[in-house]
Amino acid sequence: MAFLSDTFRTALDLIASLDPEVLNAVSTSLSVALWSILFATLAGVPVGVAVGITEFTGRRAVITLLNTLMALPTVVVGLAVYGIISRQGPLGELGILFTPKAMVIGQTILAIPIVANYTLGTVKGADPRIVPTALTLGAGPFQSVRLLVRELRFGIMAAVIAGFGRVVAEVGVAMMLGGNIRGYTRTMTTAIAMETGKGEFALGLALGLILMGVALLVNLFLNLLQQR
């Protein structure tokens, strides 16, 4: 019991003193997660809106695929991207393996199905008269869709927040594509795994507390958006 209390106090001291190791892991995690969710939003929101308002052959199959991809294992994504950007892969000449760029690519792939699926659910739950009414009043197709997105902005923001929560706590892709390089690609999750394995439980606990704080803020904001 004394070990746990001492470790907890040390972890709080590391946070309060703004330990460079802790700050670097936190900044890397947040930077990679923010870039990933930005690209995932640019791809996932249009997909979710398009599938939600369009009737086409194979629509049910696309929806099933999006649902399936939400549970896509992170190590599978890491393995696939690794094979593409490794030195022997088709994009090996870019030299982005074990860099934050590689981590962003992998986490973007993880987040796209989440953003798209949540957006799709939001569109399906909206008033189906929004787009037809806008078209009847003289709006063009693009203007009608823009109006729909504006009406559903809180639901779409909730989709983005959910995707961010998925990638900020991700470890498999970050480890495989980032390499857990100290001061460069080490994130909160990879640092927790490594430091705990080394016996540096206090540092791992400090990062775990920060990660839990981020997750709590994300979920509180998500709940607020869902209520709106």
CB 109, CB 81: distance < 8 Å? yes
For domain 21-227, give the CATH number. 1.10.3720.10
In the chain, alpha helices (H): 2-16, 20-53, 59-69, 74-85, 100-124, 130-136, 141-151, 153-168, 172-178, 188-198, 201-227
Residue owning tokens 């779409």: 156
For residue 174, the Cα-to-chain-centroid distance in whole angstroms is 12
| Residue 1: predicted pLDDT | 60
Residue owning tokens 């739950």: 125
For residue range 37-82, list pLDDT tens digits in order.
999 999 999 999 999 988 888 889 999 999 999 888 899 999 999 9
With a pLDDT cut of 90, the percent of the chain lying above it is: 53
- Interatomic CA distance for residues 115 and 53, integer angstroms: 16
End-to-end CA, the chain: 44
Angle (CA) 98 218 100, round 5° = 10
For residue range 159-190, list pLDDT tens digits in order.
999 999 889 989 989 999 999 998 899 999 99
| Residue 228: predicted pLDDT | 65
Burial class (CB in 10 A: 0-12, 13-18, 19+), 123: buried
- State the Cα torsion 87-91-95-101 to the nearest 10°: -130
Q: Give the residue, 227 or 78, on which the prediction is more confident.
A: 78
